[in-house]
């Protein structure tokens, strides 16, 4: 019985540590407004689990004058401000406070946003 309990606790600990130590990941939903915190130097993944394309209009909220961001398509296709990208493509942009960025993710797509500044920024996004 103790052996089973030890394995259970070990497995539970591994499960929680993997969740805590992994990079943030969000699922897009349609017709939703959400704030996403983009931590410095940490890729944040967005996933479209739907069978239709999700379009997001995101306002970048930051106290910094400029913020360098990278947008990378991990799976399928997407676009940033109308520029089409395929899996493996990356686009770097610089945003300013209250800039608007338009992101599109095809069905099943996974895209990654990385904040290359020194402070958290918030992407306030509305999806359609």
Report residue 2: phi and psi, to 5°.
Answer: -65, -35
Domain ranges of the chain: 24-127
For the question of whether the overall pTM of this predicted structure is more than 0.85, the answer is no
Q: How confident is the model at residue 32 (pLDDT cuts 50, 70, 90)?
A: confident
Taking only the tens place, the pLDDT of each residue in 55-103 is 999 999 999 999 999 999 999 999 999 999 999 999 999 999 999 999 9
Could you tell me the fold of the domain covering 24-127?
A: Jelly Rolls (2.60.120)
Distance, CA of 36 to CA of 54 (rounded, Å): 16
Distance, CA of 116 to CA of 110 (rounded, Å): 19
Residue among 107, 100, 102, 116 at smallest CA distance from 44: 116
- Beta bridge partners, 101, equal 58
């Amino acid at each position: 019985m103790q052996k089973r309990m030890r394995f259970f606790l070990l497995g539970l600990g591994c499960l929680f540590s993997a969740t805590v130590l992994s990079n943030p990941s969000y699922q897009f939903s349609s017709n939703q407004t959400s704030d996403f915190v983009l931590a410095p130097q940490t890729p944040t993944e967005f996933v479209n689990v739907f069978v239709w394309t999700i379009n997001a209009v995101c306002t970048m909220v930051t106290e910094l004058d400029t913020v360098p961001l990278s947008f990378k398509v991990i799976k399928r296709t997407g676009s940033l401000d109308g520029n089409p990208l395929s899996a493996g493509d990356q686009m770097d942009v610089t945003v300013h406070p209250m800039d608007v960025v338009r992101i599109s993710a095809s069905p099943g797509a996974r895209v990654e946003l990385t904040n290359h500044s020194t402070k958290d920024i918030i992407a306030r996004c509305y999806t359609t």
